[in-house]
Amino acid sequence: MCAMTPPMREKARVLDAESIRRAVVRMAHEILERNKTPESLVLLGIRTRGVHLASRLADAIAAIEGVRPPSGALDVARYRDDRPADDSQSAQAAAIPHPVAGRHVVLADDVLFTGRTARAAMDALIDLGRPASIQLAVLIDRGHRELPIRPDYVGKNVPTSAREHVAVRLMETDGRDEVVIEEPEGV
């Protein structure tokens, strides 16, 4: 944490490992319902935790259909309009396993908040080609949109206040699967 960020404490646990697994499986079914076949899909996760969510969705689709759609990573740092660009990250904007032109691309992220990350991801994706469609899957939709962006697939809607923080922890990066709401200590 930076010096200006107050210490946070856990206020509520909203998803445990089993709840996250069920949400991913449900979203995979919804993705297949809308897109009919996994062969037309590419799942791209927004770095960092969105990458793991995209991979989990692809695995769940494979378990359902027997075919795993390609999944990859999209780094949107240089497309953000609300944060300074980090030149060390912008050199590797994407790890895309398949061309996106003409495909149905599902962008995956852990939390949808203001919508700015999703907008940046769309800008980054369009630079890579023209997909047939762009869809958005998020594990948590916490509201507070600044842009007119709405997810197509949601693991859980979690109403929050602006001062709260939604912490998504995934096994691949954090050693455990959980989603908690945190708030500044002393509140």
CATH of domain 11-184: 3.40.50.2020
Helix (H, G, I), strand (E, B), or coil: what is residue 72?
strand
pTM across the whole model: 0.91
Question: What are the structural domain ranges in the chain?
Answer: 11-184
CA distances to 16, 29, 108, 115, 125 from 155, rounded to whole Å, are: 12, 12, 11, 16, 23
Beta strands in the chain (DSSP E): 8-15, 41-46, 71-74, 94-95, 104-112, 133-141, 153-157, 165-169, 178-184
Q: What letter represents residue 158's amino acid?
A: V
pLDDT in tens, the chain (187 residues): 445 778 999 999 999 999 999 999 999 999 999 998 999 999 999 999 999 999 999 999 999 999 999 999 999 999 987 766 555 444 345 678 788 999 999 999 999 999 999 999 999 999 999 999 999 999 999 999 999 999 999 999 999 999 999 999 999 999 999 999 999 987 6
Retrieve residue 117's tokens: 């990350």
